[in-house]
């Protein structure tokens, strides 16, 4: 199940979902969506229980591939999980804000 960046922003802003960045640390340092949690994809399974199971979780990465894998795994385990379509690249291209000020999408 996928959400557009705008849908993800609306749900997160309303407190209706947690937005989780599954990218590598260097990608996070370049720019991120303010108010999101950072849990690298490889550490996600070990930290799954630190997430609120009562609230939908929306995963994002650079273009949506890694977060898509996270979404599938969490949905298979009974979570209400979503992938943010197009990742942070699509988020930025739609003019949605990145943190810190002047944040950008890291090159791979």
| SS (HEC) of the chain | CEECHHHHHHHHHCCCCEEEECCCHHHHHHCECCCCEECCHHHHHHHHHHCCCCCCEEEECCCCHHHHHHHHHHHHCCCCEEEECCHHHHHHHCCCCCECCCCCCCCC
What fold does the segment set 2-93 form as a domain?
Oxidized Rhodanese; domain 1 (3.40.250)
pLDDT tens-digit profile of 25-54? Answer: 999 999 999 999 999 999 999 999 999 999
pLDDT tens-digit profile of 60-76? Answer: 999 999 999 999 999 99
Give the pLDDT confidence score for residue 37 in this predicted structure. Answer: 96
The band of 102, judged by pLDDT with boundaries at 50, 70 and 90, is confident
């Amino acid at each position: 199940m996928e959400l557009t960046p705008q849908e993800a922003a609306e749900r997160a802003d309303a407190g209706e979902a947690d937005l989780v960045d599954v990218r590598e640390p260097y990608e996070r340092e370049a720019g991120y969506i303010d108010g999101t949690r950072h849990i690298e994809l490889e550490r996600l399974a070990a930290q799954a229980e630190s997430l609120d199971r009562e609230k939908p979780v929306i995963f994002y990465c650079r273009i949506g591939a890694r977060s898509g894998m996270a979404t599938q795994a969490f949905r298979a385990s009974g979570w209400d999980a979503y992938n943010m379509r197009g990742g942070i690249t699509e988020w930025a291209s739609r003019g949605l804000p990145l943190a810190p000020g002047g944040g950008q999408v890291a090159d791979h």
